[in-house]
Structures are given as C-alpha cells and as structure tokens.
Amino acid sequence: MKAVRVKEFGGPEVMSYEEVDIPTPSENEVLVKIEAAGINYIDTYQRTGLYQIPLPATLGLEGAGIVTETGDSVSRFKVGDRVAYTNVAGAYAEFAAVPEDKLVAIPDGVSFDEGAAAMLQGCTAHYLCQSTYKVKAGDRCLIHAAAGGVGLILIQMVKDMGAFVIGTVSTEEKAELAREAGADEVILYTEQDFETEVKRITDGAGVNVAYDSVGKSTFEKSINCLSRFGYMVLYGNASGPVTEFNPATLGPKGSLFLTRPTLFDYLATREDLDWRSGDVFSWIEEGKLNLRLKHFYALSEAQDAHQALEGRKTTGKVILKP
Ligand code: NDP
C-alpha cells in the first residue's frame, strides 16, 4: 500500500510518499481501508518535531473508512462496517490497523469526509465548549483562527449554546466564513489590534472565555481580553509555542483561569469517545452542524496540503484521499 512517511523532522519536504506493507491487525485491532484521512495542525507539529514522535513514522491522527479485517478478540465491529477514529498514528495511508476501543461507527447520514473531520476537530470543539469551559447562554467568547477547521465548528457549537461570539481571522474572505458560521463580530487580527477591538465590542467588559489556538502571537493579548474570573483556554501553537509566562499576572487581571488542554485527555474513556463523537455525528445528521469540506488532496499531495495549511491558505477541513 501507499503511505506518507517521515524519517526526519523538518519542512513539508520531509514527507515521502512510499510503498509499505499493509499492517496486520493484532487481536484487538481492525484493519481499516481509509477513505478519508483528516489533516490537522498537530500533524505539522509532529512533522517539524515541535511535538516529538518516534521516527520513522506514518503521519496522520484521524481517519474514516471501511473495516476489511478484524482481530480475533474484536467484538464491536465486523467487516464492511463504516468507522472513524482519532488518536492512532498512521492515517496518511491506504490502510491502518486501529484498536477497537478507539473506533466508532459512522451513522448512515454522515459521509466518510465528515466522519474524518468529526473525530479530531469536531470532538475538540465539543470538549472545549462542553468541558474545558462549559459555555453558558449569554457568555461572550473569543475564538481565534475562527475560519479554521476547529474554529468554524466551535463557532457553531458555542452559538447554539446561546453565547455571543467574537472571531478573529486574517482575511476578509475568512471573516465572511466566520460570519456565516454564526460569529457576531469578526476582527481581522492581522490589521486591527484585537485587544482594543474586543474591549470596544464588549464596552470594556471583556470576554468570559478566550479559545486561543494561535499561541505565541495572541496569548498575552487574549489574557487581557478576559473579564473577571475569565478562562484562558490555550489549545494550540499555530504561530509558535508560548514559552514564558508568569502565573502571578493572572491575579491582578481578574483572578483568571489558565488551562492548556489536549483532546486525548478528553477522549480517554469509551464514555467520552461515544458521547463526544455521538453528539457531533447527530448534529451533522440534523443539519445543526455544517462542516466546511473544500480542501481535498490525493495522498501523494500531502506536501502541498501541509504547505497550504501552514501558509494560512485553507479554511475548514483539509482531507487527504488515499
Ligand atoms: P486551522 O485550520 O485552524 O489552521 C490554523 C490557522 O491558524 C490558520 O488557518 C490561521 O488562520 C491561524 N494562524 C494564526 N497565526 C498563524 C501562523 N503564524 N501560521 C499559521 N497559521 C496561523 O487548523 P486546525 O483546525 O487543524 O487546528 C487549529 C488549532 O487548534 C491548531 O493550533 C491546533 O494545534 C489546535 N488543536 C488543538 C487541539 C487540542 O486538543 N489541544 C486539538 C485540535 C487542534 P488565520 O489565517 O485566520 O489567522
């Protein structure tokens, strides 16, 4: 089979499209023929070595496809089932061996492309607004990179919970997408000072929660946008990691909370996996959650896909089609 492999950390050019053996599922695994592999920003961190992974490796943490083989002890799934998963390495490939405890069935009304997008980005948006900071009706929320994969989903979920949403994006085209997803106000943070704008929009009150996946370039100002007891949810590093911070500053700024969550803790149990993916799938089926699926690449074009994602050229989900 074909797979996208990385043997050393570096730019998109370190990804090679290669012939490798089809994995053999162990007794608790199923073999999935991948129909859609989700590309996520975390893949770029693993490729560059910002997040260290053992090498050589096949990239990709999110996939959807069809079960073609099952290990002896597998009981939940059978050959022919439509399934999706996240948090198992190796989705940039034609086949992946996946432990059954990481797999969920995809309902009939959900496509493979939607299934792939739902697992990592959908479940991330879900945990951010349902668990890390449980949004309440009337809350004011700041969402950075609002037209990105997680961003567009998070806006829709938070709006559905009755919040007021301020999004930030880099271009007017992205601003339009954020508005269509439900954002009440959108700031072009590449042209305007978003801290000043948030204070203006909220009449100085600030926001109850800042969902910040941009990191280095936004972190400090995001904290300054918070109201008393506000939550700073730092969940990514698209502009680089935050490396220096003095927790004592949280006091005088309003007894603030700071957290640095990761999806894999919020999907650690079967209960969480079924709850979050089940909600996301049913909201897709009900038409309550629209996924933007416009960026498709062949498996052999993974380098182009990473260049586009890191070059801020994509909106919504980016999918690799084996
Ligand atoms: P996105 O589709 O959101 O792409 C990243 C976006 O970040 C870009 O489109 C861009 O939007 C924005 N950005 C801001 N500054 C930069 C920069 N210097 N270079 C590149 N992009 C920049 O990606 P994902 O939806 O896959 O992920 C979004 C973020 O969420 C990532 O940081 C990711 O690591 C994080 N994440 C964290 C998880 C967790 O559990 N902690 C789980 C899933 C994702 P614009 O042009 O509008 O600025």
Question: Residue 2: its pLDDT value, please?
Answer: 98
Among 162, 163, 215, 195, residue whose Cα is nearest residue 41? 215
Q: Whole-angstrom Cα distance, residue 215 to residue 66?
A: 36
Residues 212 and 305 in one domain: no
Residues 64 and 194 in one domain: no
Question: Residue 114: its pLDDT value, please?
Answer: 96
For ligand 1, atom 29, which residue shows the shortest CA distance?
213
The answer as to whether 111 is a domain residue is no
Residues 126 and 100 in one domain: no
Question: Residue 301: its pLDDT value, please?
Answer: 98
Question: Residue 99: its pLDDT value, please?
Answer: 98
Question: Residue 17: its pLDDT value, please?
Answer: 98
CA of 17 relative to ligand 1 center, distance in Å: 25
Among the atoms of ligand 1, which is closest to the Cα of residue 190? 48
CA of 242 relative to ligand 1 center, distance in Å: 14
Question: Residue 44: its pLDDT value, please?
Answer: 97
The answer as to whether 271 is a domain residue is no
What's 37's domain CATH number? 3.90.180.10
Pocket probe mutation, ligand 1, options 173, 211, 312, max atoms within 8 Å of Cβ:
312
Residues 251 and 144 in one domain: yes
Residues 19 and 97 in one domain: yes
Pocket probe mutation, ligand 1, options 143, 150, 219, 317, max atoms within 8 Å of Cβ:
150
Among 277, 299, 263, residue whose Cα is nearest residue 95? 299
The answer as to whether 225 is a domain residue is yes
Q: In what order do the strands lie in the sheet with 164-169?
A: 185-188, 164-169, 140-143, 207-212, 226-234, 257-259
The residue whose two tokens read 């073999």 is 31
At residue 228, the 3 state secondary structure works out as strand
For ligand 1, atom 39, which residue shows the shortest CA distance?
262
- Residue ranges in the chain whose pLDDT is less than 70: none
The answer as to whether 279 is a domain residue is no
Q: Whole-angstrom Cα distance, residue 232 to residue 230?
A: 7
The answer as to whether 114 is a domain residue is no
Question: Residue 123: its pLDDT value, please?
Answer: 98
Among 70, 64, 78, 68, residue whose Cα is nearest residue 36? 64
Number of structural domains found in the chain:
2
For ligand 1, atom 18, which residue shows the shortest CA distance?
239
CA of 213 relative to ligand 1 center, distance in Å: 6
Among the atoms of ligand 1, which is closest to the Cα of residue 189? 48
Of 247, 262, 277, the position where a domain reaches its end is 262
The answer as to whether 116 is a domain residue is no
The answer as to whether 24 is a domain residue is yes
Residues 97 and 128 in one domain: no
Question: Residue 95: its pLDDT value, please?
Answer: 98
CA of 81 relative to ligand 1 center, distance in Å: 32
Among 243, 162, 146, 133, residue whose Cα is nearest residue 198? 146
Of 244, 262, 280, the position where a domain reaches its end is 262
Question: Residue 297: its pLDDT value, please?
Answer: 98
Among the atoms of ligand 1, which is closest to the Cα of residue 309? 4
Q: Which amino acid is at 279?
A: D
CA of 221 relative to ligand 1 center, distance in Å: 17
What's 224's domain CATH number? 3.40.50.720
Q: Whole-angstrom Cα distance, residue 120 to residue 267?
A: 10
Residues 97 and 142 in one domain: no
Residues 83 and 177 in one domain: no
Among 223, 211, 168, 165, residue whose Cα is nearest residue 191? 168
Q: Which residues are near ligand 1 (CB < 6 Å)?
A: 40-42, 120-121, 124, 145, 147-151, 169-170, 174, 213-214, 217, 235-239, 261-263, 309-310, 312, 314
List the structure tokens of 281: 């799938």
Pocket probe mutation, ligand 1, options 123, 132, 156, 214, max atoms within 8 Å of Cβ:
214
Among the atoms of ligand 1, which is closest to the Cα of residue 45? 34
Among the atoms of ligand 1, which is closest to the Cα of residue 168? 47
CA of 318 relative to ligand 1 center, distance in Å: 12
Residues 130 and 74 in one domain: no
CA of 277 relative to ligand 1 center, distance in Å: 21
For ligand 1, atom 16, which residue shows the shortest CA distance?
239
- 45: domain range? 2-105+292-321
